[in-house]
Structure 1
Amino acid sequence: MSTPASRPGRPRDNALMRLEFPQSLAVYDDYAAAQRTVDFLSDEGFPVQNCMIVGTDLKRIERITGRLTYNRVALGGIGSGLWLGLFVGLIFSIFTEENTLGVIASTMVLGAAFGVIMALVGYAATRGQRDFSSVTQVVATRYEVLVEHKVAAQARELLAKLPGALPNPFA
């Protein structure tokens, strides 16, 4: 099993995320089935610290949530700006002895103005290239349960007792 390329500020080798000589125990189409397998092994007293669930074949899913218009973008910018203004106003109110409510209200108004301007400028810069809003998620299409080689036989014996278990063609 290869290790991922190191990133700045992260340790090159994270021992918690590795098994020394992993072997495939089972492959599933959903995470719940892989989790059920490890839970079953745990219930049977198996040393589950020798297990790992690995999601493979990653895909990105983007769900379109609506059409973007200048009005929707402006409303979103106002909302974001109000929250930013509220936060800044609360911070300022700690350090000032003036009218606290006035400080908070004025920073919220300025925040809303700043938010709407930035949102509209950003939207206009796309020039219609992305006129929709969406949410994205990265999901695995397969989940493989790996076990350390020294306990793989024990895991396979226990897994054969799991109700509804099928033989693993990948093992």
Structure 2
Amino acid sequence: MTQAFTQQTTFSEPQGRAQLPTLPSGWPIGSYESYSEAQRAVDHLAGTDFPITDVTIVGVEPILVERIAGRMGWSKVLTSSALSGAMFGVFLGLVLSLLNPGAGLVPIIVGLVGGIGFNLLFGALGYASSKNKRGFISQSQLVARRYDVLAQPRNAEKGRALLADLAARSAFTH
């Protein structure tokens, strides 16, 4: 049996040796357009006496989606660098002031100025070294066209019946 996102070892394998990736096994008992629908189906199975450890959710036809969040320019690079440097510097200054209570606000101010300075320098160098090849900010996400719920053959028919019951109840509530 395969469980998504886990590394299982058997007693015959030496401890510490990573198991190679394998394709999931089982028969399809449901197919859904979104991961949340597949999760809802598995939650339904978990609420019954169904052996939930025999279930796997498989994303079919994975796609990398990159959503553009905005433009990237010198002003945005320097602003975000200064803000993140300020937060790190204040944190570091607070830690140092806790270690030396008699120092007052000096460690916090030094941490703030140092954090801003170093982050501005490294942010500017990083952006300049990319030669402005990427003029936007984005977030990447791996999604699938559909999500199949698989169960081991010994329980597949029972799983299909339970999910068909869920689908029938969902049709009446909408």
* Interval of TM-score (by shorter of Structure 1 and Structure 2): 0.7 to 0.9
CA RMSD, Structure 1 to Structure 2 (Å):
2.9
- Aligned counterparts, 1:1-171, within 5 A: 12-13=18-19, 21-164=25-168
Residues 163, 23 of structure 1: alpha-carbon distance in 2 compared, 3 angstrom cutoff: closer
Secondary structure of 2:149 counterpart: strand
CA distance in 2, matches of 1:124, 1:13: 42
CA distance in 2, matches of 1:18, 1:57: 14
Secondary structure of 1:34 counterpart: helix
Secondary structure of 2:165 counterpart: coil
Amino acid at match of 1:56: V
Moved more, 64-73 or 108-117: 64-73
1:105-154 per-residue CA deviation (whole Å, 9 max, x = no partner) reads 11111110111111111111111211111122222222110111111122
Structure 1 runs, 4 residues or longer, greater than 4 Å off = 1-4
CA distance in 2, matches of 1:84, 1:75: 14
Shift of 1:84: 1.5
Secondary structure of 2:45 counterpart: helix
What number of residue pairs does the alignment pair up?
158
Secondary structure of 2:66 counterpart: strand
Amino acid at match of 1:45: D
TM-score with structure 2 setting the length? 0.77
Amino acid at match of 2:51: P
TM-score with structure 1 setting the length? 0.78
CA distance in 2, matches of 1:99, 1:2: 57
Stretches of structure 1 that go unaligned for 5 or more consecutive residues are 166-171
